[in-house]
């Protein structure tokens, strides 16, 4: 199924798929708001996991696509958040003068 999506073959979306996708997006946003993460890296990982899971489900429309999307999104979100944390630390260290 994932290969069909990557090859650009058209796909019909059912109403339940769209509802599941919308529900997943709402759930991901809610988890992010309620999580209260200590760092941008943690927040980025959670946001990335949610976005990746939704993207994986939208592309693959199966569990494999969702799991792959979650893993990739978590990693990318963590890396982006970690760089943000590093930048904040650099700014904080330079303001000590």
- pLDDT tens per residue across all 97 residues of the chain: 555 555 665 555 566 666 666 677 677 666 666 666 778 888 898 889 889 988 998 898 888 888 999 999 999 999 999 999 999 999 888 876 5
Any domain includes 3: no
Give me the domain span that covers residue 32. Answer: 14-94
Domain assignment present for residue 47? The answer is yes
Identify whether 1 is part of a domain: no
- Is residue 5 one of the residues assigned to a domain? no
Instruction: Give the total number of structural domains in the chain.
Output: 1
User: What's the whole-model pTM score?
Assistant: 0.64
Q: Report yes or no on 7 lying in a domain.
A: no
Residue 83 lies in a domain: yes
Would you say residue 9 lies in a domain?
Answer: no
Gap between the Cα atoms of 66 and 49, Å rounded: 10
């Amino acid at each position: 199924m994932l290969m069909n999506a990557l090859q650009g073959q058209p796909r019909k979306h059912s109403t339940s798929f769209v509802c599941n996708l919308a529900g997943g997006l709402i759930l991901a946003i809610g988890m992010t708001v309620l999580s209260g993460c200590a760092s941008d890296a943690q927040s980025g990982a959670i946001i990335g996991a949610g976005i990746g899971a939704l993207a994986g489900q939208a592309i693959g429309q199966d569990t494999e696509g969702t799991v792959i999307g979650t893993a990739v999104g978590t990693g990318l979100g963590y890396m982006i958040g970690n760089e943000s944390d590093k930048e904040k630390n650099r700014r904080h260290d330079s303001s000590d003068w």
